Amino acid sequence: MNGWLNLTGRILIAMLFLGGAVQKVMDPEPVMRMINSIGLPDLAIWPIAAFNLAGGLCLVFGPWIRGWALALAAYCLVASWFHWELRADPWQVTIMIKNWSIAGGLLILASQSVGKSAPNGSSR
């Protein structure tokens, strides 16, 4: 049962990153404007989208679930700073707190035994 719960949790967390990648690719302009507002170039959106896609897929299918969980937790914490910079918009503060929560869940996932990360008990 723990393996299935782990997989379900990974899928639910991955959906956020996969959805973010799709959103950035399908409608990049709003994100480009936001990243420009803090001095990053437009082209930064493409490696960010690729990282979101790769991270989301690897959380679900592996490999290196623990490593991806740690990298995505760090990404969420760095992205929190970005949302804090836009704190005049109350929704950005909510997104910042959400990112902390997701980072917390990813850190818990990273702390799990690698051998229990797949439903059948195999390691990835």
- The domains of the chain are located at 2-114
**The two three-digit tokens of residue 78, written as one number:** 């760095």
Which residue has 């995505």 as its token pair? 72
pLDDT band at 120 (very low <50, low <70, confident <90, very high): very low
pTM here?
0.83
What per-residue confidence (pLDDT) applies to 123?
43
Please state, in angstroms and rounded to a whole number, the distance separating the CA atoms of residues 67 and 110: 7
pLDDT at 118 over 70: no
Asked whether 74 and 102 are in contact (CB, 8 A), the reply is no
What per-residue confidence (pLDDT) applies to 113?
57
Asked whether 115 and 123 are in contact (CB, 8 A), the reply is yes
